[in-house]
Amino acid sequence: MKNAHLLLGLTDDEFDLIKEKLGRIPNDLELAMYSVMWSEHCSYKSSRIHLGRLPSESPLVLVGPGENAGVIDVGDNLAIALRIESHNHPSAIEPYQGAATGVGGIIRDIFTMGARPIALMDPLFTGPVENPHNAYLLDGIVKGISGYGNSVGVPTVGGSITFDSCYNQNPLVNVFCLGILPQDRLVLGRASGVDNLVVLLGSATGRDGIGGVSILASAGFGSDDIDETLDQSIATMTDENSSKRPSVQVGDPYEEKRLIEASLALLDAHLVVAIQDLGGAGLACATSELAARGRVAMDVYLSSIPLREADMTPAEIMTSESQERMLAIVKPEDFDDVKALCKKFEVKSTIIGHVVADNPDCPSQLRILSEQNGTVLANMPAATLADEAPKYDRPITPPQFLGQLNDFTSSSSPDRGQTSHIGSSAIDQTTAEIAKDMLQLLFDPSFIYEQYDYQLFTNTICAPGEADAAVLKLSAPDIAFTGKAIALSGDANPNYCAVDPRLGTALTVAESVLNVACTGAKPIGLVNCLNFGNPEHGEVMWQLSESIDGMAAACRQLDIPVVGGNVSLYNASEGKDILPTPVVAVVGLIENITQKPPLIGLEAGSTLILLGETESNLCGSAFSRLHEDDIPAGHSCKLPQLDFDTHKRLVAFIGNMIGNQIGNTGEKDSSLSAEDFGGEKNIISHIHDVSSGGLATAICEMAVKSNCGALITGIETEEELFSESPSRVLVVTKFPELVTALADKYGIANKILGTAGGTELIIQNIVSITLADIENRYFGYLPARLQITEGSSADFAS
């Protein structure tokens, strides 16, 4: 049998480092706590040295990366808290509970900051649903999000679904949550005050999710037998028989709903000094982080912790990932009030320890005692657990083609000399083949989002599927609407990132920013979830590092602070690393909203105008992916160029134009004035950005949503039709002269594409498709594939 530390996922070097930090050999309990805290999931040991390159500063940022959530000032003494996380590996094993507990965890991160969670978004990635296992996974994931999110009472207002065979067996479930708070309710997870109480709120602690962070989330998938590793690792800590235990936690949204209400009520009543949620690594994480951040010492009494099972070992208790728990620091004189308030919400509150005087010889000392004044079972400087995991500068192996990389950070004109390797063959397609391709790129995700409550809190102005970003009134049950709104967009482009992770990630950020602008919002912050393969593979580390650089460059150029992030590594399917999948969520602020923004759609008799210039380049496009059998090899072609100056100009122009239309923005921030609109208020009737699938998909989506055809005369080639070159928006207007004049005035390239109307989508000289064909494909695709598993996964009713 291997040594205990190896079974727990610690290397020999890491074990030596722990010995060095403690000046002795750690005991079993200490070793278990280090193993979870030093896991990839908790410590970011492979990525931390790279993450520092992301810009996180802005005058509006109140709390940047490193806390439970980022917090941004939105005026009126209000702030928003936002965070995104992955729950990929648990969802691969148990899709319903994996996704459900992902939702539960991200919600806790938000209300931990004192914010009322008001919105969830879930970018999902699975293998093609033609494969029944993938359909089963997706169905379970969606039901998990629906079952937990709806019941816990936080609307799911956005998300996405991407299919690619690289996610077979390893679906990605990213969960984003946004909350709103009065700025004076902002609270940080920092313990303070000697003799203050350490109070555990919520569920009893059970054996669920033990080792989740170290075993599930931080190791390769499919190579080793996970069950075996897990059982052996815990068995070394205990003498008991190693029965099969679920390493995936089980969620209880009703407990969490009461925990939200109780926690926010405690914060409103100023009854807690600090509060921290329990997520990955459970009590080991919450106690060590509270102590380390607050630079105080803490004693924890195991016998005081309410357990679901009587015979749990100390290691199991400290590393359990049982859901729906919070750890609060409370002044002794306030505890009776805390208990009374918790009782109202039927939430358990238990004193499990004390903040104690710091020992200069052992700063922020965390002691685990059998009981108060009992035996000391573990004794470690909290910072060594929370902050001092080794940081790895893992080898980066740039692929052979590095020399051909574009220098996209400088403004360069599109290189039209080098187009996609499939470009020439594409031109030979028949009309029927083009129509088939156009249809294949389409499907309606409403089958997924209609299982989510996206309307709760009566804030949802733009519901899922209506616009390029979700738009919500900035208000909450205890926070009045002041005329402001926020826009949210979650985006990813694994195809682009596979070809060129640096430019691909920059393009992803650019798209997300433009999506938000299309609803009239000004982008104010970004969080990211970096889903990659095995960091021990040099090329994966290269992808990660490149991606971070691309994100950093784009965020700097577009003035968007990165206020939080999450890294999920070891994502692989069938022995192959997933395509690099950095997900970004951008939040935008609408200063004043009095009417719904223009939606995705068409209006008969109106003119379609393309703002921005098309680069005829199919590299990395969804279209080219249709014609490739395998995952893009990387740099087999050159991605469309991103010119930051052009993009910024377009984002500002669109944001101002739509912002002026939907509310009273005043002159602040706006380069456009009322005169620019010639007295007309609603000059844009519909709007849609051009992204995956290019103009072909964008126009089809606009047509199908309004049941209106179009005659397009302004697209000349098939490459133009399917190109996904960035910085382009389609607008529909009854005032084409006004729009083109305005675009000209502000230096925005523009082209009239055609006219809306009829029951066919005709792209002159290229293709024509009937609306009926578009509808059949669009509305029929997902239901036909997901109904198969009807009733075969977990029941959605909690």
Partner 1 sequence: MTSSIKIVTFPGTNCEHDVLKQIQYLQGDAELIWHQETNLGSCSGVILPGGFAHGDYLRPGAIARFSPIMDEVIKFAESGGPVLGICNGFQVLTECGLLAGALSINNGLRFICKTLPCILETTQSVLTSAGQVGKELLLPVNHGEGNYICDDQTLDYLKENDLIVLTYAADINGSIDRIAGIRNKAGNVVGLMPHPERAVDPLLGYTDGQILLQSFINAAK
Residues carrying an active site annotation = 41, 87
Q: How far is the CB of 651 from partner 1 (least distance, A)?
A: 24
Q: Which is nearer to partner 1, 342 or 369 (CB)?
A: 342
Q: Directed axis angle between helix 644-662 and helix 501-517, to 10°?
A: 20
User: Quick one: which of 595, 682, 707, 764 contacts partner 1 (CB under 8 A)?
Assistant: 595
Our finding on whether 791 is near partner 1 (CB under 8 A) is yes
Q: Which is nearer to partner 1, 261 or 539 (CB)?
A: 261
Residues in the interface with partner 1 (CB under 8 A) total 42
Instruction: Report whether 534 contacts 567 (CB < 8 A).
Output: no
User: Quick one: which of 453, 500, 546, 724 contacts partner 1 (CB under 8 A)?
Assistant: 453
Per DSSP, the residues of 179-224 read EEEEGGG---S---STT-EEEEEESPB-STTTTIIIIITTS-SSSS
Binders of partner 1 in range 146-175 (CB under 8 A): 146-147, 150-151, 153
**Distance from C-alpha of 93 to C-alpha of 219, rounded to nearest angstrom:** 14
Binders of partner 1 in range 644-703 (CB under 8 A): none
> Tell me, what amino acid is at 618?
L
Q: How far is the CB of 206 from partner 1 (least distance, A)?
A: 18
Instruction: Report whether 43 contacts 280 (CB < 8 A).
Output: no
**Among the residue ranges 194-202, 442-450, 605-613, 765-773, the one whose residues contact partner 1 (CB under 8 A):** 442-450
Beta bridge partners of residue 174, listed in sequence order? 86
User: 46 is written with which tokens?
Assistant: 């492979």
Q: How far is the CB of 170 from partner 1 (least distance, A)?
A: 25
Q: Which is nearer to partner 1, 117 or 620 (CB)?
A: 117
Q: Which is nearer to partner 1, 134 or 460 (CB)?
A: 460
Identify the H or E element spanning 53.
none
Q: How far is the CB of 426 from partner 1 (least distance, A)?
A: 38
Could you give the C-alpha distances from 655 to 489, 492, 522, 652, 727, in angstroms and in order? Answer: 14, 21, 6, 5, 13
Q: Which is nearer to partner 1, 461 or 774 (CB)?
A: 461
Our finding on whether 304 is near partner 1 (CB under 8 A) is no
Q: Which is nearer to partner 1, 418 or 792 (CB)?
A: 792
Binders of partner 1 in range 238-267 (CB under 8 A): 252-255, 257-258, 261
User: Quick one: which of 404, 418, 431, 455 contacts partner 1 (CB under 8 A)?
Assistant: 455
Our finding on whether 143 is near partner 1 (CB under 8 A) is yes
**Among the residue ranges 117-125, 143-151, 199-207, 235-243, the one whose residues contact partner 1 (CB under 8 A):** 143-151
User: Quick one: which of 138, 161, 213, 593 contacts partner 1 (CB under 8 A)?
Assistant: 593
Binders of partner 1 in range 308-367 (CB under 8 A): 344-346
Q: Which is nearer to partner 1, 19 or 343 (CB)?
A: 343
Could you give the C-alpha distances from 220 to 7, 89, 225, in angstroms and in order? Answer: 14, 10, 10
Q: Is 233 left (phi over 0), alpha (psi -120 to 50) or beta?
A: alpha
Our finding on whether 451 is near partner 1 (CB under 8 A) is yes
Beta bridge partners of residue 763, listed in sequence order? 712, 767
Residue 284: Cβ within 10 Å count: 33
Instruction: Report whether 606 contacts 734 (CB < 8 A).
Output: yes
* Of 302, 298, 270, nearest in space to 196 by CA: 298
Instruction: Report whether 385 contacts 33 (CB < 8 A).
Output: yes
Q: How far is the CB of 782 from partner 1 (least distance, A)?
A: 12
Instruction: Report whether 191 contacts 290 (CB < 8 A).
Output: yes
Instruction: Go through 627-640 and write b for each residue having 16 or more CB atoms within 10 A of its CB, e for each that does not.
Output: eeeebbebbbbbbb
> Tell me, what amino acid is at 428?
D
* Of 528, 749, 706, 450, nearest in space to 86 by CA: 528
Q: How far is the CB of 99 from partner 1 (least distance, A)?
A: 14
User: Quick one: which of 60, 204, 405, 456 contacts partner 1 (CB under 8 A)?
Assistant: 456
Q: How far is the CB of 146 from partner 1 (least distance, A)?
A: 5
Beta bridge partners of residue 178, listed in sequence order? 82, 119
Our finding on whether 224 is near partner 1 (CB under 8 A) is no
Our finding on whether 629 is near partner 1 (CB under 8 A) is no
User: Quick one: which of 336, 629, 630, 790 contacts partner 1 (CB under 8 A)?
Assistant: 790
Q: How far is the CB of 335 from partner 1 (least distance, A)?
A: 22
- Residues in the site for partner 1, rule: CB under 8 A? 143, 146-147, 150-151, 153, 252-255, 257-258, 261, 344-346, 446, 449-458, 460-461, 473, 477-478, 593-596, 790-791, 795-798
